[in-house]
Amino acid sequence: MWADNISNILHLFEDGQVSRRELVERLTKYTGSLAAAVAAIESAGLANAQTLTCPAGVQVSENDPALISQMLTISGEGGPLFVYQSVQRDWATAARPAVVVIHENAGLSEHIRDVTRRLAKAGYVAVAVDLLSRQGGTQAFDAVGASAAFGRTRPEERSADVLSTIHTIRDQSYVQGRRVGMIGFCAGGTQVYDAILKTDALSAAVAFYGFSVPTGANIALITTPLMMVYGELDRGTTAPIGPLIQGLAQQNKRYEVHIYSNANHAFHNDTSPRYDPEAACDAWAKALAFLNRYLNRA
C-alpha cells in the first residue's frame, strides 16, 4: 500500500494533477522525511521536481501581514469584473505605480494570485483580473473546467475586460495614473500584445510566452516599452517572434527579449511540471527591473 501510494502521487504529478509543492508535501507525509521524498522523486526520473525557487522566499503568502490582498468587483463593459488586488498595508500613505496581471488559460489561479502578491511586495498596486468573470469567475470551476471556460471566452470580450481593468486602476486615487504596467503569462501574454495595440495607458508591458504577436503594420502602433520572455523549447510559441523583434528594432521601439535555453512553455509557473527554477528566477528579476525602469523613473 505504501509503495502504491507513492506511485500514485508520482503519476498524478506527471499528469499535471498535483503541483510540485503538493508532490513533495505528499511524498514527505508517506515517506516520513524530505530526504526520502527527494530520493523517491529522483528514482522516478523526476529530479527536476525540486521545489526550490530563486530567490529564496519569492512566493508570498496570502496572509502576509505586510499586505492587504482581497477579491474586489469593478465595473466592466459586459458586467461585473472580479479582480484580485494586493497592496502594501500602508497603501493610503502615498500613490504608487500599478501593475495589471493577466492569467493563463487556467483562470485566476493561486499561482497568479501569488504573482500579484509578489508585485505588491515589490511596491506596486497589483491587480489581477479574472477573465472568467462573465461566466461566474474562476472559483465556479475546477482546474479542467476553468480551462474549458476560458476556451469559451471571445477575444473581444477579453480585450474589453483587460482595458476596463487598466482604466479603472489607473483612475484610483492611490495609483500614479501615468505609471501603470502590465504583465501576462501564456494566454495572458497574448492579452499583453493585444492591449499595447489598443491603449496608450500603459508605461511598461511584460509578456511571458505569449502567442498571436503583433505583425506587419500593427508593430508601428506600439508605443509601450515591451519585454518578451520565452523558453527555447517552446518552439511553436517562440518561432513567430522573429519578425516582431525585427520590426521593433527597425522602428526604434523600446523592447527587450529573453529566450531561456532548455526552458519550455510555462517555465515560470512553479506549480507546473515544466517549472525551471533557474530560468524563472532570472526572468522574474529581469521583469522587476524592467518594470522598475519605466514605472519608478524620477
Q: How far apart are CA 236 and CA 239, in angstroms?
A: 6
How is the beta sheet containing 67-76 ordered, strand by strand? 67-76, 79-88, 125-129, 96-102, 175-185, 204-208, 226-231, 255-260
User: What is the average pLDDT across 279-283?
Assistant: 94
- Read out DSSP for 90-108? TGGGS-EEEEEEE--TT-S
| Cα separations in angstroms, 172 against 11, 97, 183, 199, 252 | 47, 11, 19, 18, 32
Angle between helical axes of 34-43 and 20-31 (0-180°, round to 10)? 110
**More confident position, 35 or 64:** 64
Confidence (pLDDT) at 24: 72
Q: What is the overall mean pLDDT for the chain?
A: 89
CA-wise closest residue to 23 among 50, 62, 2, 59: 50
- What's the CATH fold of domain 67-295? Rossmann fold (3.40.50)
Q: Where are the alpha helices (DSSP H) in the chain?
A: 2-14, 20-31, 34-43, 110-121, 143-152, 155-170, 187-198, 235-238, 241-250, 277-295
Confidence (pLDDT) at 28: 77
Q: How far apart are CA 146 and CA 132, in angstroms?
A: 8
**More confident position, 14 or 151:** 151
pLDDT at 54 over 70: no
Q: Where in the chain is the domain with CATH 3.40.50.1820?
A: 67-295
Confidence (pLDDT) at 21: 64
Dump pLDDT digits (tens) for 37-50.
666 766 766 555 44
- Main-chain phi, psi angles of 39, to 5 degrees: -60, -40
Dump pLDDT digits (tens) for 151-204.
999 999 999 999 999 999 999 999 999 999 999 999 999 999 999 999 999 999
Dump pLDDT digits (tens) for 82-110.
999 999 999 989 999 999 999 999 999 99
Q: What is the pTM of this model?
A: 0.82
In this structure, are residues 162 and 197 in contact, taking their beta carbons and an 8 Å threshold? no
Q: Is 124 exposed, middle or buried (0-12, 13-18, 19+ CB in 10 A)?
A: buried
